[in-house]
């Protein structure tokens, strides 16, 4: 059974890169283009893992993460921040919001896949 990953990312090019990589490894992808849609998709699909952009329209990734963490069925779903925020302290901010992992953009496909496998090790 393939693992379901929710990608919350507003930039189509970034979604396409992630889509191409993860579907080649048989992950099932669900996509959202803003933070509010991401929260709704997480609640309706209960993914195995969430890739969360931080700079999102409607609500940012920090707030989307906090809202997802407040849903009991989603509290243990790993969330990896995938963000262009790469300044000192930014990783700490994502973890304080509830993210379990952090990858700075631009990322290599190998780096993203390795981070996902930390949380979904049976692949």
Residue 64 near residue 38 (C-beta atoms within 8 A): yes
Count of Cβ atoms closer than 10 Å to residue 51 Cβ: 27
pTM of the model: 0.95
Q: pLDDT tens for residues 86-123?
A: 667 888 999 999 999 999 988 899 999 999 999 998 75
- Mention the CATH class of domain 4-118: alpha beta
Sheet holding 79-83, edge to edge: 28-32, 4-8, 49-52, 79-83, 101-104
Say whether 49 sits in a helix, a strand or coil: strand
Q: pLDDT tens for residues 50-91?
A: 999 999 999 999 999 999 999 999 999 999 999 886 667 888
Torsion of CA 70, 97, 99, 28, to 10 degrees: 50
Q: pLDDT tens for residues 10-49?
A: 999 999 999 999 999 999 999 999 999 999 999 999 999 9
Domains in the chain: boundaries: 4-118
């Amino acid at each position: 059974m393939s693992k379901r990953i929710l990608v919350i990312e507003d930039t189509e090019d970034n979604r396409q890169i992630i889509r191409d990589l993860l579907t080649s490894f048989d992950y099932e992808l669900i996509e959202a283009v803003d933070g509010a849609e991401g929260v709704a998709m997480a609640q309706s699909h209960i993914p195995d893992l969430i890739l969360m952009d931080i700079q999102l329209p409607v609500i940012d990734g920090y707030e989307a993460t906090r809202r997802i963490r407040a849903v009991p069925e989603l509290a243990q779903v790993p969330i990896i921040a995938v963000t262009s925020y790469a300044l000192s302290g930014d990783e700490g901010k994502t973890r304080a919001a509830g993210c379990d992992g952090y990858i700075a953009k631009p990322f290599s496909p190998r780096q993203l896949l390795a981070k996902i496998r930390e949380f979904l090790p049976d692949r």
